[in-house]
Amino acid sequence: MNTEPEGKVAIVTGASKGIGRAISLELARNGYHIVVNYRSDEKGAIETQAMIRQEGGDGDIMQFDVSNHKETQNAFDDILKRFKTIDALINNAGIAADGLFVMMPRKDWHSVIDVCLSGFYNMTKPVLEKMVVQKRGAIVSIASVAGLMGNRGQANYSAAKAGLIGASRAVASEVARLGIRVNVVAPGLIETEMIKDAPIANIKALIPMARIGKPDEIAKVVRFLCSEDASYITGQVISVNGGMF
């Protein structure tokens, strides 16, 4: 990493593609310097950084696994040396390992919980410690319609996302008086790699808008929640699902 950037700083986990990339670009357009996190897709992270720069913004790439507490803490040690403030944290990193619960291997349960829910703890706790001193900041976590309604074949993913919602609401109540806002965006079906094998035609029939959402439609809501336009919004879950739930 180079010199201290001007303006606001946002950390976006899982930013190498899909919703994370869209959020990174949207925040960069609105004056944020982006810390682009990835776990394994280095090529995608480099592409995200290049797209940010094409938009006139800038960002740093940081490789670490949000489910690994030691890796995450080491990354934060570097981040805190580099940046005086952290203005926004977007907990977007997530994985799926679908299967009927009665046949679900233990490793599939824990891998999804570790990334989607334990990752929230590993990322949010050190960021909050910084934001409490600043007395300002915005944290937005990306949950899912699965965390609200439960999806057949996704007990692990539904549990992780429901837990993310509950944790976010609890933390929001703890830090609201300190000038820190904590919210959740719960997407429905969005055009990403995660739904590439899904029965799209069947799913569309369940969506009142009769279409799949786009990553940019999530990113714009995240940008709003990070902005002063959302200064009186905390502890909320914003569903972006075309009326699916």
Distance of CA 58 to the CA centre of its chain: 19
Look at residue 2 and tell me if it is in a domain: no
Do 206 and 229 meet the contact criterion of CB atoms below 8 Å apart?
Answer: no
CA proximity to 6, closest of 29, 32, 30, 25: 32
Instruction: Give the tokens for residue 149.
Output: 């309604």
Residue 66: which CATH number?
3.40.50.720
pTM of the model: 0.94
Look at residue 60 and tell me if it is in a domain: yes
Mean pLDDT by 10 residues, the chain (245 residues): 70 97 98 97 98 96 98 95 96 95 97 97 97 97 95 95 98 98 96 77 86 96 98 98 90
Q: In whole angstroms, give the CA distance from residue 171 to residue 173.
A: 5
- Whole-number pLDDT of residue 163: 98
Quick one: which H or E segment has residue 44? helix 42-54
Beta bridge mates, 38: 63
Q: Is 157 a catalytic residue?
A: yes
Residue 139: which domain range? 8-240
Number of structural domains in the chain: 1
Helix 119-134 vs helix 155-175: crossing angle, to nearest 10: 10
Look at residue 112 and tell me if it is in a domain: yes
One-letter identity of residue 159: A
- Whole-number pLDDT of residue 1: 43
- Whole-number pLDDT of residue 6: 63
Rounded to a whole number of angstroms, the distance between the first and last alpha carbons of the chain is: 42
Look at residue 158 and tell me if it is in a domain: yes
State how far the alpha carbon of 48 is from the alpha carbons of 25, 54, 148, in Å.
8, 10, 30
Look at residue 215 and tell me if it is in a domain: yes
Beta-strand ranges (E) seen in 47-113 are 59-63, 88-91
Look at residue 168 and tell me if it is in a domain: yes
| R_g over Cα of the chain | 17
Do 48 and 15 meet the contact criterion of CB atoms below 8 Å apart?
Answer: yes
Look at residue 70 and tell me if it is in a domain: yes
Residue in 32, 38, 121, 157 annotated catalytic: 157
Q: Is 64 left (phi over 0), alpha (psi -120 to 50) or beta?
A: beta
